[in-house]
Amino acid sequence: MASSMILNPVASSERSRDSSRKKKKKKAARENDRQGQDHIQWKSQAQHQVYSSKLLRALSQVRISSSESAPNETPRRGRAVREASDTVLAMTAKGRSRWSRAILTNRLKLKFRKHNRQKAHATGNSRTKKPRVSVFRLRGKGLPTIQSKARLLGRLVPGCRKQPLPVILDEVTDYIPALEMQIRVMSAIVNLVSSSSSSSSSSSSAAVVTDRRGIPAAQFVEDVRTYLSQLELDVQSALAFLQERLQQYKLVEMKLLAQQRDLQAKIPDIKKCLDIVATLQAKKDAATGEPLVADFEISEGIYSRARIEETDSVCLWLGANVMLDYSCEEATALLQKNLDNAKASLEVLVADLQFLRDQVTITQVTIARVYNWDVHQRRIQLAGASVEDS
């Protein structure tokens, strides 16, 4: 006789409710672990270095584009620097958060909007827009304090304007550590790279340390105990300070190496232009009456032959889409002056790099001395404790 099994609906519902609670707890634990890893990630040295290198490349592009613009466009350049730093921060986040995706999307929309605005201005179809009154702004008045603050917080965090409060708080826990890292990197760049920053003199009894072109010189530590007492720091704080200074030296070294590569690529081009002007001048002085036959490189591996008649002037590109007509003598003088300035700048950069590498070596040696001194002190304390126990 087959026995029939009768299920208790109350017990089954309780089991399903317990399983759903366990799933929610596991999901919340995974979210907390992910948030904690994100916070550690933004505070890690590797993430700091990745963001610093990307930011320096982006700022160099902003500097190149701003040098070709008008000199009175300082607010626009400041806006470009802010947009570049935010874009690099979002790219470093790799789109894992809502705010990083919102920043990248807004930059893409702004790019297409600028392109369409330039196109409409060129065709003459631009129309003036009337100012509109936002209904949402009027609707936000009279809200409770918590809702108004949540609305304000949603406006401050990118991509969270219309999101509920739990989503906003989740994004804030990742957005604030990212901003703190951005502030640290920007402050380090401003303190070390700005040419207008004055070198501060040390008032301590240590040896006088000179700076070079805004790069602070490192202090070699002979007595670690005296060094720590003068700074009023413990070992861990001193090591953190030295590691941060070493990272700042690395940032400046990357910037100087980029400038050195630009000058090393610029000097051969200037020499080539000087040779061309000298060839034209020699052809003119010879007065043979025959044209000069030259092969112009149109593209890589593609050349076009041209016949150049005797001429008294040449055209030089000065940058920023500007070309001027010079005589051969004036062009030679200008190119020679640019060549001398480029060589002098390259010599200064080489000296700066040598000075910077010396400071990096001194800082690394100081870190090793402080660490070894701490290990030695701990061993002495352990030996004393073992003697007392025996």
Q: Cα–Cα distance between 48 and 317 in angstroms, integer?
A: 40
In a domain, 183, yes or no: yes
Q: Which residue has the higher pLDDT, 105 or 18?
A: 105
Q: Return phi, psi of residue 326, to 5°.
A: -125, 155
Read off the pLDDT of residues 212-240 as tens digits, 9 standing for 90 and up: 777 888 888 888 888 888 878 888 888 98
Q: Return phi, psi of residue 292, to 5°.
A: -90, 125
pLDDT at 115: 59
SS (H, E, C) 164-225: CHHHHHHHHHHHHHHHHHHHHHHHHHHHHHCCCCCCCCCCCCCCCCCCECCECCCCCCCCHH
Same domain assignment for residues 106 and 161: yes
Q: Cα–Cα distance between 93 and 104 in angstroms, integer?
A: 11
Which residues are within 8 A (CB) of 361 and not within 5 positions of it... i.e. 6 or more apart? none
Q: Which residue has the higher pLDDT, 91 or 5?
A: 91
Q: Which residue has the higher pLDDT, 170 or 65?
A: 170
Same domain assignment for residues 157 and 270: no
Q: Give the structural domain span for 77.
A: 26-121+139-193
Same domain assignment for residues 143 and 273: no
Same domain assignment for residues 116 and 167: yes
Handedness of CA 201, 204, 208, 212 (dihedral sign): negative
Read off the pLDDT of residues 53-107 as tens digits, 9 standing for 90 and up: 777 777 777 655 554 454 455 566 677 778 888 888 888 887 778 888 888 888 7
Q: What is the mean pLDDT of residues 261-266?
A: 92
Query: Chain-wide mean pLDDT for the chain?
Result: 76
How many domains is the chain partitioned into structurally?
A: 2
Q: Return phi, psi of residue 190, to 5°.
A: -65, -40
Strand partners, 293: 307
Same domain assignment for residues 274 and 388: yes
Same domain assignment for residues 38 and 174: yes
Handedness of CA 188, 191, 195, 199 (dihedral sign): negative
Cα 303 versus chain centre, distance: 40
In a domain, 301, yes or no: no
In a domain, 233, yes or no: yes
In a domain, 208, yes or no: no
pLDDT at 204: 37
Same domain assignment for residues 231 and 170: no
pTM for the full predicted model: 0.45
Look-up of token digits 């003119």: 284
User: What percentage of residues in the chain have a pLDDT greater than 70?
Assistant: 70
Least confident span in 194-208, 298-312, 348-362 = 194-208
Encoded amino acid at 220, one letter: F
Are 258 and 60 spatial neighbours (Cβ–Cβ below 8 Å)? yes
Query: Which tokens go with 288?
Result: 């043979």
Burial of 70 (0-12, 13-18, 19+ CB in 10 A): exposed
Cα 85 versus chain centre, distance: 6
Same domain assignment for residues 230 and 367: yes
Encoded amino acid at 332, one letter: T
Same domain assignment for residues 77 and 164: yes
Q: Helices marked H in the chain — which ranges?
A: 9-43, 45-67, 74-93, 98-123, 135-139, 145-156, 165-193, 224-231, 235-286, 328-389
In a domain, 133, yes or no: no
In a domain, 219, yes or no: no
Strand partners, 189: none
Same domain assignment for residues 92 and 173: yes
Is residue 289 left, alpha or beta, with left meaning phi > 0 and alpha meaning psi from -120 to 50? left
DSSP assignment letter at 71: T
Query: Which tokens go with 113?
Result: 């909007």
Which residues are within 8 A (CB) of 303 and not within 5 positions of it... i.e. 6 or more apart? 295, 296, 297
Same domain assignment for residues 160 and 93: yes
Is residue 208 predicted with pLDDT exceeding 80? no
Is residue 37 predicted with pLDDT exceeding 60? no
Same domain assignment for residues 148 and 235: no
In a domain, 365, yes or no: yes
Q: Which residue has the higher pLDDT, 117 or 321?
A: 321
In a domain, 96, yes or no: yes
